[in-house]
Amino acid sequence: MILELVSAAHEPLSMAELVRRSGLTKPTAHRITAALAEMGLIERDHWKRGYIEGPRLIKLALDTLAAAAPRALRHSILQALSQDVGETCNFGVLSGSEVVYLDRVEAKWPLGLRFEAGSRVPSHASAIGKLLLALQEPNRRAETLAALPLVRYTGRTLTDHARLNRALDKIRETAIGTDEQEFIEGVVCIAMPVRSESGDIVGAIAISAPHARRGLDELLSFAPALGDAAERMGATFRLDPETRSPSAPSDRGAGRRATAPRRPTARVPARAT
């Protein structure tokens, strides 16, 4: 509250004014402002009239703006891809045993899936998850799969480690992840990696659609458009060559060919609206 009050004020706020506007007791306001000042988030102005933004708060605001700009650009890339193919598009990363959607653009169809950014889906039953697992270094992939709970979601979910490994090997060859109704009955999806300029995998971009509208083969025909969007999204990341994304270690030699894979065994259940 005090940070918001100080940030929104057009002039330094005295302690008395902070107490009045915040409704805090004077000892509590003193304690909080002292802690914030010690952290560099607020400071006394030059003439000691009151509190203003500190250097750390200003840097935080500038860093947020700097990060928000490429995020908005990435969302625009997703929007353009969604409009081009007419289907829902996602950008996600691998987090433990799940894929976290960092951004998502829903297709403007009556029949669609309703997930928000921040939603999680199982890695072994999703196109993004299988792709990022496939592109991991072999030792890391083995460790991840050993700890992965292979929960069955549909009749096509790969719950056998050997079958899943074979499917991941095929995905690694083509760099196109597929989900043929493996997580949600009636939903298919394809995904391609997003690489930074240094070649590090920072996540994956995907197109998903109801199987009633498009089969997996038809979705794979969008691979060139998906690959172009992935390349443009990768250009928005500026990573140090030594940095490794938690979604997958860099494997620059893997999966460079963007040819359509043979259809994996998979199916799908979904909340369709």
pLDDT at 236 over 60: yes
pLDDT in tens, 2-22: 999 999 887 899 999 999 999
Degrees (nearest 5) of the Cα angle 153, 177, 116? 60
Degrees (nearest 5) of the Cα angle 102, 114, 204? 30
194 and 159 in a common domain: yes
pLDDT at 118 over 80: no
**Is residue 79 within 8 Å of residue 246, measured between CB atoms?**
no
Whole-number Å distance between alpha carbons of 23 and 10: 20
Whole-number Å distance between alpha carbons of 198 and 195: 8
210 and 92 in a common domain: yes
**Is residue 106 within 8 Å of residue 88, measured between CB atoms?**
yes
Q: Cβ-count burial of 158 within 10 angstroms (0-12 exposed, 13-18 middle, 19+ buried)?
A: buried
pLDDT in tens, 27-84: 999 999 999 999 999 998 877 789 998 889 888 887 776 666 688 888 999 999 999 9
pLDDT of 65 reads 62
228 and 98 in a common domain: yes
* 244 domain-assigned: no
Q: What SS3 class is residue 43?
A: strand
Q: How far is CA 10 from the centre of its chain?
A: 36
* 257 domain-assigned: no
CATH number at residue 20: 1.10.10.10
Lowest model confidence (mean pLDDT) among 18-27, 37-46, 181-190, 239-248: 239-248
Which H helix or E strand runs over 32?
Answer: helix 26-38
Q: What SS3 class is residue 7?
A: helix
Q: Please state the pTM of the whole predicted model.
A: 0.67
pLDDT of 263 reads 37
Q: How far is CA 77 from CA 7, 90, 104, 152, in A?
A: 32, 11, 11, 33
Question: Who has greater pLDDT, 169 or 46?
Answer: 169
206 and 89 in a common domain: yes
Domain of residue 194: give its range.
68-234
Closest by CA to 117, choosing from 155, 85, 78, is: 78
200 and 83 in a common domain: yes
Domain count along the chain:
2
86 and 49 in a common domain: no
76 and 47 in a common domain: no
114 and 13 in a common domain: no
How much of the chain is in helix, strand and coil states, percent to nearest 5?
40, 20, 40
Angle between helices 15-22 and 26-38 (to 10 degrees): 110
**Is residue 260 within 8 Å of residue 218, measured between CB atoms?**
no
pLDDT of 222 reads 96
* 10 domain-assigned: yes
pLDDT of 253 reads 46
CB neighbours of residue 222 within 10 Å: 20
pLDDT at 194 over 80: yes
20 and 145 in a common domain: no
Whole-number Å distance between alpha carbons of 176 and 257: 9
Kindly indicate the confidence band of residue 115, based on its pLDDT and cuts at 50, 70 and 90. Answer: low
Q: How far apart are the first and last CA of the chain?
A: 39
Q: What SS3 class is residue 211?
A: coil
103 and 229 in a common domain: yes
- Greatest alpha-carbon pair distance for the chain in Å reads 72
For the chain, what is the total number of helices (H) and then of strands (E)?
9, 8
CATH number at residue 221: 3.30.450.40
The mean pLDDT value for 186-215 works out to 92
pLDDT in tens, 139-161: 989 988 988 889 999 999 999 99
* 34 domain-assigned: yes
80 and 38 in a common domain: no
